[in-house]
Amino acid sequence: MALNNNRVVVVTGASRGAGKGIAIALGATGATVYVTGRTQHEGDAPLPGTVQATADAVTAAGGVGIPVYCDHANDAEVQRLFEQVKEEKGRLDILVNNATSLHDALTEKGPFWEKPLELTDIWQVGMRSHYVAGYYAAPLLLANGEGLVVNTSSFGGRIYMHGPAYGAGKAAVDKMSHDMAVDFRPYKVAVVSIWMGLLLTERTQRVFESEPDKYAGLVSTAETPEFTGKVIDALARDPRLMGKTGKVWIGAELGAEYGIADSGGKVPMSHREFFGDTTTYGDVVVE
């Protein structure tokens, strides 16, 4: 794969949250990072963060941040995104599919029929959108003769977490990663799902701050969004990358394998033991 400072990367859904942290961490390697999202101005969304602000942070970290305003529910806009990458760079080294629709009612207690149907929007942006991005990114990845597609996911693909809409969306992403990898393998393009842990995103921090005593014990177990970006960087540099394709990987365990620490030298925990045996569901092997 291209040297770090020559990499071309697309990170979707990066106005804030996991995508923002991943983009900044990859930018810190010197990469050119196309940052996508819908938020153009502060105040457009209930949480802080804009596409431009993330792109600026990527550049400040040592890379080249390029903001692209893109609604990943709109296939035409996604197509234009990759046309822009082709025109400006002619290739793509890493695609990180992170754009996900998370309804505010996601974490509310109660059965699924008492929650808004809009929770199923995660099947559109967060499942189908990953497929569409991979579809339009494929010619650019093939142009390299090698590449990496990362679909961000979670333990919710195997256990009950936030209800059936969320679980179905994450499970589909994991299986899609497996099947995309089959098609990409002859071209030396790897595809993986990475299960992230509890992240210190703007959304999570808002919850923590609302009830600090209740969540005091969780704060110390949370990962920064940048940690996943560091893991993706190491994964892309792994000479055994194609041996990891088509599988679901727990980000914290990959971090331990590659000797990656989070901010302050913290080593994130896996959560595998806490959630029980999650390794034998369906066609996807969790390593």
pLDDT tier for residue 210 given thresholds of 50, 70 and 90:
low
pLDDT the model gives residue 280:
42
Amino acid at the residue 274: F
3-state secondary structure of 208: helix
Sequence-separated (6 or more) residues with CB below 8 Å from residue 160: 167
Among candidate residues 166, 187, 215, 258, the one labeled active-site is 166
Tokens of 245: 């394709």
CA distance 272 to 159: 11
Evaluate if pTM is beyond 0.75.
Answer: yes
166 is catalytic: yes
Q: Kindly list the domain boundaries of the chain, sorted by start residue.
A: 4-275
Q: Supply φ then ψ for residue 155, to 5 degrees.
A: -60, -20
pLDDT tier for residue 204 given thresholds of 50, 70 and 90:
low
Q: Mean per-residue pLDDT for 149-160?
A: 94
Quick check: 284 pLDDT over 90? Answer: no
Share of the chain above pLDDT 90, in %: 73
pLDDT the model gives residue 87:
98
Quick check: 199 pLDDT over 90? Answer: no
**Comparison of pLDDT for 42 and 171, the residue scoring more:** 171
pLDDT the model gives residue 46:
81
Q: Supply φ then ψ for residue 200, to 5 degrees.
A: -85, 65
Q: Supply φ then ψ for residue 67, to 5 degrees.
A: -80, 135
CATH architecture of 4-275: 3-Layer(aba) Sandwich (3.40)
Quick check: 285 pLDDT over 50? Answer: no
Tell me the pairing of strands 189-195 and 147-153.
Answer: parallel
Chain-centre distance for alpha carbon 74? 19
pLDDT tier for residue 215 given thresholds of 50, 70 and 90:
low
The pLDDT tens digits of the residues spanning 10-67 come to 999 999 999 999 999 999 999 999 999 999 888 888 887 899 999 999 999 999 999 9
Over the chain, what is the mean pLDDT?
90
Tokens of 3: 């040297």
Q: How many residues make up the chain in this entry?
A: 287
Q: Supply φ then ψ for residue 27, to 5 degrees.
A: -65, -35
CA distances to 127, 129, 193 from 79, in Å: 17, 11, 23
Quick check: 254 pLDDT over 80? Answer: yes
